[in-house]
């Protein structure tokens, strides 16, 4: 059973993180390490997490000296990880008990290096408000206008990231979108497992729900990271926004 490194950036998710960690430590696939990257200069929650970490030796906490953001924190987690596989998880999302077992088996059976799964969307009261179906994403064109990859559903082989020297950018939002695009640019494929194995929490006050920030970062994705000109960047940004609204 190969080691899986679960990487969780943490910033002010005290009301959710216990459920998140329980969903990881209760996995039927138990050969894992949990790397929490604490990204808050306020240390109130740090002591809280330390107490939780003492309940399971697989949980390790890495404290950033300054606030770096979720993307850079994930890079630190990847650098510090020991697993063959990397699994991403946000501190307010949860997994079903067989998530890793099912997904790793799916990858090994088909010799896939990257996979993602279908997922449910819930609100802060755990009420189901939507869902997204995973599909195979075989080229960069499959996500340029609409990114349906749930970050907390993704598992990949660590050597894919290390070999290609791909890192999350320093963006407030859309940092995962850039990461996926860079992997697809290197001809890696995302294979979809159509099983609902993750609950993604939609928090209305979160950074990912800020419309203005999303527009700014979305434009940066196309203009800076994809090297599109202004007009092409605006076109794809409009497509991305339209497809997002269509899925609401």
Q: Could you tell me if residue 227 is inside a domain?
A: no
For residue 52, the model assigns a pLDDT of 95
The answer to whether 201 touches 128, Cβ cutoff 8 Å, is no
Task: Return phi, psi of residue 81, to 5°.
Answer: -75, 155
Instruction: Provide the number of structural domains found in the chain.
Output: 1
Q: Could you tell me if residue 136 is inside a domain?
A: yes
Q: Could you tell me if residue 211 is inside a domain?
A: no
* Residue ranges in the chain modelled with pLDDT below 50: none
Burial class (CB in 10 A: 0-12, 13-18, 19+), 108: exposed
Q: Could you tell me if residue 11 is inside a domain?
A: yes
Tell me the whole-structure pTM to 2 decimals: 0.94
Q: Could you tell me if residue 171 is inside a domain?
A: yes
Buried b (16+ CB within 10 A) or exposed e, 44-68: ebeeebeebbeeeeebbbbebeeeb
The neighbour count for residue 102, using CB atoms within 10 Å, is 17
Structural domain boundaries enclosing 124 = 4-203
For residue 207, the model assigns a pLDDT of 53
For residue 206, the model assigns a pLDDT of 56
The neighbour count for residue 100, using CB atoms within 10 Å, is 23
For residue 205, the model assigns a pLDDT of 61
For residue 79, the model assigns a pLDDT of 97
Helix (H, G, I), strand (E, B) or coil at 25: helix
Which CATH number does the domain housing residue 122 bear?
A: 3.90.550.10
Q: Could you tell me if residue 240 is inside a domain?
A: no
Q: Could you tell me if residue 221 is inside a domain?
A: no
Per the structure block, which two tokens stand in for 225? 């990271």
Q: Could you tell me if residue 187 is inside a domain?
A: yes
């Amino acid at each position: 059973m190969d080691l899986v490194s679960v990487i969780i950036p943490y910033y002010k998710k005290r009301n959710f993180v216990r459920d998140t960690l329980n969903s990881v430590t209760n996995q039927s696939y138990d050969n894992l390490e949990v790397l929490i990257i604490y990204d808050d200069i306020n240390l109130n929650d740090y002591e809280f997490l330390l107490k939780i970490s003492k309940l399971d030796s697989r949980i390790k906490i890495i404290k950033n000296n300054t606030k770096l953001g979720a993307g850079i924190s994930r890079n630190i987690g990847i650098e510090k990880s020991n697993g063959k596989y990397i699994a991403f998880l946000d501190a307010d999302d949860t997994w079903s008990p067989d998530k890793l077992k099912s997904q790793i088996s799916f990858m090994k059976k088909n010799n896939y290096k990257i996979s993602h799964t279908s997922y449910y969307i819930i609100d802060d009261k755990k009420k189901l408000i939507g869902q997204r179906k995973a599909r195979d994403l075989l080229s960069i064109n499959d996500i340029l206008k609409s990114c349906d990859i749930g970050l907390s559903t993704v598992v990949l082989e660590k050597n894919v990231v290390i070999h290609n020297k791909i890192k999350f950018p320093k963006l407030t939002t859309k940092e995962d979108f850039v990461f996926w695009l860079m992997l697809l640019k290197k001809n890696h494929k995302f294979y979809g497992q159509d099983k609902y194995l993750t609950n993604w929490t939609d928090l209305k006050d979160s950074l990912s729900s800020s419309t203005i920030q999303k527009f700014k970062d979305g434009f940066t994705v196309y203009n800076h990271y994809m090297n599109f000109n202004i007009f092409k960047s605006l076109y794809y940004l409009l497509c991305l926004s339209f497809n997002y609204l269509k899925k609401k």
